[in-house]
């Protein structure tokens, strides 16, 4: 594991050479901040991953094209309150024009700028509101603007989510900073080069485009692709990792320094993924589902995701009900291969099921486990060497209210 330290109040602008801003352009009827800009003072290589949803939003399609065609980039603009998804050719044009307007204001080329959006689906993006956001954001860009930017990308989030770490490489300090948003419609299953979950990561180290693509791909498999709030994948899920080299540190492919960087990046991504689940819409519980000794990785994954997304399990957890029958039902329909007669289940450290039957632990003891803000459901199939874990939440009355009333 990399030796790194967390930066108090760290954000996407903690690494050298980055500025950000968060402003109110007018997308949200509430008047809350709704437009963010992240800017690199130096050309940056970028790696990305995006939703695998067939109805991928216009900004997602734009980002895919940018990464495929470009080598270095300078900025990303993000609006909240309008997803610019399912908006057809006008939506595609609006995403391109948004970048062109930002490019003009920043004196850059449009192809050096990414766009991301989150909010209501099926509503055309108002370019005058984008223009206002750009006009306000450019003069507000600041090396201290990362936390303001993280507030501006929120939708149903209750808190902004930013982190940063520092580590020593070759006698020099480099930083990794990040911000994310997401509280509902969270089950990303992102694919490299293919929310709403939005995540923007920066580093002042220098890495190649291929390195970043590999690091993002591996990182999301150990973080964002291991979380679910409601089992729904967004049209707009996006992760972008910028590397501008402002620290003067070059991380060579396959080096020990790259391994250290990978560990620190994974920690950043897992921290943000955890924050997303903790802030899940109406969530009162953070639950880790751990599958052990499954016949295969695929079987372990199927089993973990079935339990993590089961509405019956999630509502039982909300009600402090240790009803393990719902867990075995989810395992049973997961299509995972396992032997029920050898399956053990634990809530925390307490046995719930032994060899497919009631373990005899008093229900009152199990209730005390599921009452906790955080607990683990561990399932041991005792039939192989494969493991898998997922972080999930409960489903509360508040979740239903938020999504029944939702209108940014």
Q: Which of 338, 330, 324 is nearest to 308 (CA)?
A: 330
* H-state helical runs in 288-336: 297-309, 311-318, 324-333
SS3 195: coil
* H-state helical runs in 356-396: 363-370
Candidate list 14, 51, 196, 392, residue with the active-site label: 196
Spatial distance between the Cα atoms of 406 and 408, rounded to a whole number of angstroms:
6
Residue 301 DSSP code: H
Spatial distance between the Cα atoms of 396 and 374, rounded to a whole number of angstroms:
15
End-to-end CA gap in the chain: 41
Distances (CA, A) of 124 to 55, 110, 404: 15, 21, 22
Which residues have C-beta within 8 Å of that of residue 363, sequence separation ≥ 6? 322
Spatial distance between the Cα atoms of 212 and 258, rounded to a whole number of angstroms:
11
- Which string of DSSP letters, residue by residue, matches 213-248? HHHHHHHHHTTGGGEESSS---S--EEEEEE--TTS
Is 162:10 a contact under the CB 8 Å cutoff?
yes
CB atoms within 10 A of CB 407: 6
Is 61:86 a contact under the CB 8 Å cutoff?
no
SS3 362: coil
Spatial distance between the Cα atoms of 157 and 196, rounded to a whole number of angstroms:
10
Whether 196 is catalytic: yes
Q: How far is CA 206 from the centre of its chain?
A: 23
Pairing relation of β-strands 374-380 and 286-294? parallel
SS3 393: strand
Spatial distance between the Cα atoms of 328 and 312, rounded to a whole number of angstroms:
11
Spatial distance between the Cα atoms of 238 and 217, rounded to a whole number of angstroms:
12
Annotated catalytic residues are 196
């Amino acid at each position: 594991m990399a030796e790194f330290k967390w930066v108090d109040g760290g954000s996407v602008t903690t690494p050298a050479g980055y500025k950000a801003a968060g402003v109110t352009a007018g997308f949200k009827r509430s008047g809350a901040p709704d437009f963010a800009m992240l800017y690199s003072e130096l050309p940056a290589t970028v790696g990305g991953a995006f939703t695998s949803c067939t109805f991928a939003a216009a900004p997602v399609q734009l980002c895919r094209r940018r990464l495929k065609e470009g080598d270095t980039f300078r900025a990303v603009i993000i609006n909240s309150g309008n997803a610019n998804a399912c908006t057809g050719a006008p939506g595609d044009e609006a995403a391109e024009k948004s970048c062109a307007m930002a490019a003009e204001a920043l004196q850059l080329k449009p192809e050096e700028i990414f766009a991301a959006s989150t909010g209501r689906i099926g509503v055309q993006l108002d370019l005058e509101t984008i223009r206002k956001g750009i006009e306000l954001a450019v003069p507000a860009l600041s090396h201290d603007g990362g936390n303001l930017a993280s507030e501006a990308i929120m939708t149903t989030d209750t808190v902004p989510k930013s982190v940063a770490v520092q580590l020593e490489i070759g006698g020099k300090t480099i930083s990794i900073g990040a911000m994310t948003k997401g509280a509902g419609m969270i089950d990303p299953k992102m694919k490299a080069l293919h929310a709403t979950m939005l995540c923007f990561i920066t580093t002042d180290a220098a890495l190649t485009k291929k390195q970043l693509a590999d690091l993002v791909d591996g990182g999301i498999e150990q973080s964002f692709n291991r979380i679910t709030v409601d089992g729904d994948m967004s049209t707009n899920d996006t992760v972008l990792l910028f590397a501008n080299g402002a620290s003067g540190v070059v991380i060579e492919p396959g080096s020990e320094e790259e391994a250290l960087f990978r560990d620190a990046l994974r920690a950043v991504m897992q921290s943000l993924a955890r924050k997303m689940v903790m802030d899940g819409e109406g969530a009162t519980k953070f639950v880790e589902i751990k599958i052990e000794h499954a016949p295969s990785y695929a079987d372990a994954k199927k089993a973990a995701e079935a339990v993590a997304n089961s509405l019956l399990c999630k509502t039982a957890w909300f009600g402090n009900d240790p009803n393990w029958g719902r867990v075995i039902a989810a395992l049973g329909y997961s299509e995972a291969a396992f032997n029920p007669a050898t399956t053990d289940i634990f809530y925390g450290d307490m046995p719930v099921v032994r060899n497919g039957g009631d373990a005899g632990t008093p229900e009152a003891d199990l209730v005390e486990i599921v009452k906790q803000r955080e607990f683990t459901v561990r399932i041991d199939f005792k039939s192989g060497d494969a493991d898998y874990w997922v972080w999930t939440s409960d489903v509360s009355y508040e979740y239903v209210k938020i999504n029944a009333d939702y209108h940014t």
